[in-house]
Structures are given as structure tokens and as C-alpha cells.
Chain A
Amino acid sequence: MTPVLGKDLVGLEHLTSEQIRLVLDTAEPFKEVSERPIKKVPALRGKTIVNLFFEASTRTRISFEFAEKRLSADTVNVAASGSSVQKGETLVDTARNLEAMRIDMVVIRHPSSGAAEFLARRIRSNVINAGDGKHEHPTQGLLDLLTIRDKHGKVSGLKVCLVGDVLHSRVARSNIWGLLKMGAEVGVCGPDTLMPRGIEELGVCRFRRIEEAIEWADVLNVLRLQLERMESGFIPSVREYYRVFGVTLERLEKAPRQLTIMHPGPMNRGVEIDSRVADGPHSVILDQVTNGVAVRMAVLYLLAGGRPELADAAKGPAGGGGGGSE
């Protein structure tokens, strides 16, 4: 039985390594589609997709939109500001109204953790999580895996360290689940105030000093310091953070091997990452962006093609989120 994704993509936590590998393998040929003179294939012709963004996003929204358009789907963008959400409509009502217009898929970005799953359980359309609060950002996790696999030829056995604001980062959570399932060793490094309590229980090594992380790792995934999520008190100052945890050229030069540098964007140059590192020869930050479109095309394609009844059967009795009735 070929593995399928199921009805929704809410996170990487509940995917198997086979399912993750299926998405990465499916993304491969989609890279070539974006290099064609006509960057479009008819695979999702006639499908209607709503991009429901309750939180600011440039890269992810554009990436999803390109992925949808290159598969010939029809897309509508809904932003929370300027919509009925501002008038107090609930998430479920918004989605049900969209469903009443006969849509096939919803891509949702929401500030609350669990919003995507909440929606997935209540509507019939396929739901793709484009980032929910501090929970997960599965397509980012998948594109990071693809980028690591491209650069190193494998994921298994590599040492990947997430650096910085792990506490507020849904990217970190999706990375940890995905990397561990694919057989990588995962480290985390950052100030105590930005580290979730009990993070070691997920099976990751904790580094307190950036120098130790650099000595250990093959890949650094530098997370954005989410200044907008920090009311106050997490770090003494941005300058001090850079002095203690910044990924600088001087620090990397002392590493025993060449480290691959990743960043999910948008970057705070001179806060978590040195410009000379971000633009350096071992940075794959722009490859991540390119791969993002291919991975999202793969996810859309796999979700759209799977017959729900087959998908549910493959998911087994433990899988939730199927069906539309309550």
C-alpha cells in the first residue's frame, strides 16, 4: 500500500518517516516545473484553494500562492484585516462560509496554536497548516529537510542544531519532529529564557554555548528572534544577544568542519546572524526559499489527489480529522 498523507497536513509530529520521504521525493520533480518556460502544469485544474491568513506573512503566503498557481488551481487570498473576522466572526463560521462556496482546500496561518487542527476537524475541505501560533509550520519543516537532503545527500546521521528562539518558534517544533523521524541528531542552543522547559524530553541535545553547538553540528538552522512576540524580559538587549549567541564568521571559522547555514526568514541581520554568514558560500537560505515552492506543490498535489476514503483507511483508527460532520 502506497503511503498517503491523509486529508490534512497539520504538523509533522504525526507523520511517519515514509510519509515525509514521500513528500520530499514528490517535491523533486516539481523543482523542474518552476524552471520551465511555462511554469505551470494542469494537475490541480479546477480545484479552488483559499489562503486564509490571520497573521502577517510574505514569504509563506507568496510561496503557497506560486505553488497553487503552478499547479493550475484557482486561488483566493483572505487576510484577517479587512475581512469579516474583524467584525467578530469565529474561525469556524468563516471557514464554513467559504465551504458553502464549494472550495476544495484551505491553507491557514493563525496566531493560535492548534487552529489548523481545530479547523481540519470541522470542515470537509483539505486543510494545510501554514503556521499556527507556537505549534508547527510543517511545510517549513519539510522544505528544511529537502534543503538539507539536497546539500548533504541525506538527512540520516547528520547533526542539526536549531539556534536561538526555540520557545516562540513553530519552525523549531516542525524541524525537531521531522529531523528526528528522518534519523538526524538534533541539538538546540539558545538562552534559557528562550528554551521551552523539558525540551530535552523530545530527544534533542541542549547546548548552552553557541561555540559548543558550532563544534558539534553539521548544519545550523538559525531561528529568527521573534521580537514582536516578546513583550519584555526574554533577553537583556539585542546587542547582548548578538554578542553571546550571534552566528558570526569569527565563530564559524573555529569550527572543525564547514557548517551549512540555514534560516527560515525573515532575518534580523546583526541580531541572530552575521550578514557575512547569511550571504556566505555555505548559506543555503535562498535554496530554502526555492525549495519551499516545490515542497508546497508536492503537499498540495498529494492532498488533492488522495481519495479521502483511501486516505482515512491508510491513516488507521488513530487518525482523526476526517469527515466533515460533527
Chain B
Amino acid sequence: MGRPERTILLDARALSRALQRMAVEVLELTHGTADLVLIGIQRRGVELAERIATLIEKDEGVVLPRGALDITLYRDDLETIGPKPVIGETRIPGDLDGKHVVIVDDVLYTGRTVRAALDELADFGRPKRISLCVLVDRGGRELPIQPDVVGKQVKVNPHERVDVMVEELDGKDEVDLVSGK
């Protein structure tokens, strides 16, 4: 059993540049801001969605609707993981019918979280399109789900972990690869 080893994948400046690029790509994907709604997945996805929304707002001079989604109650593994003690807030801004919803999450791995998010969004309305924007795509999908906008693509082994830290919750902006037990 080796000690956990941390390697920095993105430092604060690299993270900032990745988010700027992601903001531009989101805007290209949605052809402007008219129907755009950004929805972050609890917890770090909510902060990242907020950052991307702020960047787009600064460039476009608009106010973007954004929301938060906690997918805990839509998970398919309640039996095995046990109840998650704290369920985060779910906040959907207005009616989603006809909107282009961009789901924002920190790490894309098996795809099960996104599957749950898609199910949950469907209970709030019928967006005309849903896209997926993630800061890190670490591979290892168990479902046919692919991201539309990616901050960094990196192949990570199952026993390794990607830690996304954001200033608002963790005191610094950084993405680390953690290996070992």
C-alpha cells in the first residue's frame, strides 16, 4: 500500500484558460445565448457552471439563467452505496421547454451521473436539446454517453482519482490526479 500520490493536472491558470475556452465552445454549440440554460451538477459542477456563465455574460452582455441539479435521488445504486447523508439543492430556473440546456459537471467517468441527470431533467420539462460540458473527461464510460465540450481529456486508471478543487469550496483552483490507496 503506497501513500497517495498527487500530480497536478491543471493549476489555477490552466484551469482558468480551460474555462475560457469551454465558455467559447458552449456559445458556439448553442449559437448564441437566446435559449441557453446552464445547469451544474452538485456540487462542483454548480460552481463551474457559475464560472462559465459569468464568462459568457461578460462577453455577450446578457444575463444567463442557470440552475443546480442534485441527482442523488435518481441514482441506480441506493442499495449498495447507502443513503447519501446530505442531498444538495436542486434549483431549475423557470420552464425548460424549448431551451438548450447545457449540463456542467467536473469529472465525466462512468456516465451514470449524467444518465441520472438526463432522467431528472426530463421530469422538469422538455428541452429542445441537452448538451454536456465537463472540465475533465477521464474515460472509463459504462454507458453510451459522450461530452460535447471538454476542458481536459486524460486517461485515468480505475484505482486512480481525479480531484477537482474550486476556490469557493476548497480554497484553491486546481485539478489533481491522485494515485495509490
Contacts and interface: CB of A to CB of B under 8 A. Distances in A.
Interface of A: 2-4, 22, 25-26, 28-30, 32-33, 36-38, 40-43, 71, 301-302, 304-307, 310
A66 to B, nearest CB: 16
Contacts of B74: 41-43
B87 A305 contact: no
B67 to A, nearest CB: 12
25 contacts: A2-B82, A26-B83, A26-B87, A29-B70, A29-B87, A29-B89, A29-B90, A36-B123, A37-B123, A37-B125, A38-B123, A41-B73, A41-B120, A42-B73, A42-B74, A42-B119, A43-B72, A43-B73, A71-B73, A301-B73, A301-B83, A302-B83, A305-B79, A305-B83, A306-B82
B171 interface: no
Contacts of A32: 89-90
A42 to B, nearest CB: 6
A305 B72 CA distance: 12
Interface residues of B, number: 22
A25 B86 contact: yes
Interface in B77-132: 78-83, 85-90, 119-120, 123-125
Contacts of B73: 33, 41-43, 71, 301
A40 B123 contact: yes
A135 B82 CA distance: 30
Contacts, number: 59
> Among the interface residues B78, B86, B124, which one has the most CB atoms of the partner chain A within 10 A?
B78
A4 B70 CA distance: 21
A119 B80 CA distance: 26
Contacts of B85: 2-3, 22, 25-26
Contacts of B89: 29, 32
A38 B88 contact: no
A126 to B, nearest CB: 12
Given A2-B82, A71-B73, A307-B80, 11 more contacts: A25-B85, A29-B89, A32-B90, A37-B124, A41-B123, A42-B119, A301-B73, A304-B78, A304-B83, A305-B78, A310-B82
A121 to B, nearest CB: 23
> Among the interface residues B74, B81, B85, B125, which one has the most CB atoms of the partner chain A within 10 A?
B85
A302 B82 CA distance: 8
Nearest 9 A/B pairs, CB to CB: A305-B83, A41-B73, A29-B87, A43-B73, A38-B123, A305-B78, A2-B85, A302-B83, A305-B82
